[in-house]
Each structure stands twice: as C-alpha cells, then as structure tokens.
Amino acid sequence: MKKLLAAVAVFSVISPARAQTGQALDPLATRPGWEVGGQIAQYHYEEPNFAKLTGFRGGFVGAYTFMWPNHMFLRIDGRESYGALEYQGSGTKDSVPDLILEARGVAGMDFRAGSISLSPYLGLGYRYLYDDLRGYSSTGAAGYRRYSNYLYVPVGLTMRFDLGSHWVFAPNAEVDIFIQGKQKSLLSDANLGFNDVTNTQKHGSGYRAYLMLENGHLAFGPWIHYWNIKDSDLQPIGGGQVGLEPENWTREIGFELRYRF
C-alpha cells in the first residue's frame, strides 16, 4: 500500500489534470485530484446453515483521479475498514478482529447530456480480508485465522444530476466480475491435527451502489457492497480429510463522507 501511495503521489505531479489548476471545475464532470474521507458500515458475512459474522465497522477511504482534456479519467482508490464482530456458528464469540483492505484502478470517460453527465468505467480491483477467530467459542469449539483474497473487474456507471445551488446528485451502480479468490485457513491454530490449507474460488459475483451528494469539496451519502461466492475447490488437510471454503455471501451497508481537494 505504501508503494501504491508513493506512485500516486509522483504521478499526481505530472498528471494532465494539473493543467486545470486555477480554472473553475465543472460540477457535473469527474473531479480531478485527491479525495480523503471516512466511512461506517453494518457488516454481515454468512455461510448459509453454518456460520456468520456480523457487526459494525469503521474505516478510511482515499483516491486520486487523473483527468485529461478529452474527458477521459483514471482513478486509483483504496480503503481500510476494521470491525470487532460477533461470531455465530459452533457456539458464539464476541469481538472477533476483522480487517478489509481494498485497492482499485478504473478508467472511464465523461459524456454530457444537458444537465446530466454519464461516466462509465472499467478497471481492476483487489480485496483482502483477515479475521482472527483464535480461541474458543461458547461451546468450546476452537477457532483459527483466515485470509481472503479476491481479484475482480469492476464495471460501473456514475451519473450526475444538477440540483441547483451547486448541489449535485451522483448515484453510482457497479457490477464486480469475479476473477478468482484465494482463501488461506490456518487450521493449525485449532490444534486438531489438521494442516493449514489454501483453497481456490473460481465462481462468484458482486455489486455495489452509492447515492452520493456533492457540493464543492464535499461528497457524502449511503452505499452498499455485496458479494456472493460459490464453493471453492477441495484440498487435503491431513488425516485423509479434505477441506473447502463453503459458499458464502457478504453484505456491507454504510455511509461515507469525503473531502475533495
């Protein structure tokens, strides 16, 4: 992540968007430059009929957008989100540490139609999740650490509507085309004689949507992220047994506030 931020900082110096310094920005156009902000969310992860993790989480977001005179843009963004969640499955367990890191790059173009603008885009995204279930649940079941990695292609559209008095309504809809997932489970944490295992996920899908309001330097509004991932492959875990990462779904519903430089 440090290398990514350093690269963005270097490119921001030479970006063609800098040519717009001192010029009035079109409120219906994709805004060049930096954005930073925070978010809160209600989180729900579930493996149907087996286990779930739920709770509230908070985090930070950041982005840099390059803008060219032909209305094309390149946007690099990331987020970090953390929650102390409640586990329900083989018993219950509170305050489970859960971390999400996400990095994305998308390219697109602005199209203007009167008081409305359309900004379709396409890109590449990476999502990392870590949760730590080590210890024992209310029934004495032993837990372990899990590392989740998703690679996906975001395909989306941002629309902007002029509401007057410098206010803009900017809804966004996106489909996330799942490429592959890797799930590493440290089963050795549970001391049951099983080996650590890495499973591959090949089938799944996701979507996200935002309902943002923009005014000058500020942008804020509610959002939703959703993933549905199918069963992984089977991998040996020792003792003649095999393990898989079962079908699961994740839903985050939150609110975000950004300051745009």
* 2 pLDDT tier (thresholds 50, 70, 90): very low
State which amino acid sits at residue 111.
F
Displacement of CA 161 from its chain's centroid (Å): 25
Considering Cα of 187, then 202, then 176, then 123, what sign does the dihedral take? positive
pTM of the model: 0.88
Strand partners, 56: 42
Nearest to 233 by CA among 192, 183, 176, 177: 183
How much is the pLDDT for 25? 82
The CATH number for 167's domain is 2.40.128.100
Over residues 187-200, the mean pLDDT reads 95
**Predicted local confidence at residue 43, as pLDDT:** 98
Window from 13-22, 123-132, 180-189, 244-253 with minimum mean pLDDT: 13-22
Is residue 220 situated within a structural domain? yes
Q: Is residue 253 part of a domain?
A: yes
Measured CA to CA in angstroms, residue 98 lies from 56, 146, 173, 240 at distances of 10, 10, 26, 31
DSSP 136: B
Domain encompassing residue 184: 2-22+38-260
Question: Does residue 227 surpass a pLDDT of 80?
Answer: yes
Whether 205 is in a domain gets the answer yes
Q: How far apart are CA 249 and CA 38, in angstroms?
A: 24
Specify if 177 maps to a domain: yes
Q: Is residue 238 part of a domain?
A: yes
Dump pLDDT digits (tens) for 113-122: 888 999 999 9
Rounded mean pLDDT of the chain?
A: 92
Does 33 fall in a domain?
no
User: Among residues 174, 175, 168, which one has the least CA distance to residue 220?
Assistant: 168
The pLDDT assigned to 220 comes to: 98
- With a cut of 50, say whether residue 230 has pLDDT above it: yes
* pLDDT value of residue 14: 38
In one-letter notation, the amino acid at residue 25 is L
State the total domains in the chain. 1
Give exposure, 134-172, as e/b (b: 16+ Cβ within 10 Å): eeebeeeeebbbbebebebebbbebbbeeeeeeebebeb
Checking if the pLDDT of 46 tops 60, the result is yes
- 62: phi then psi, degrees, rounded to nearest 5: -155, 155
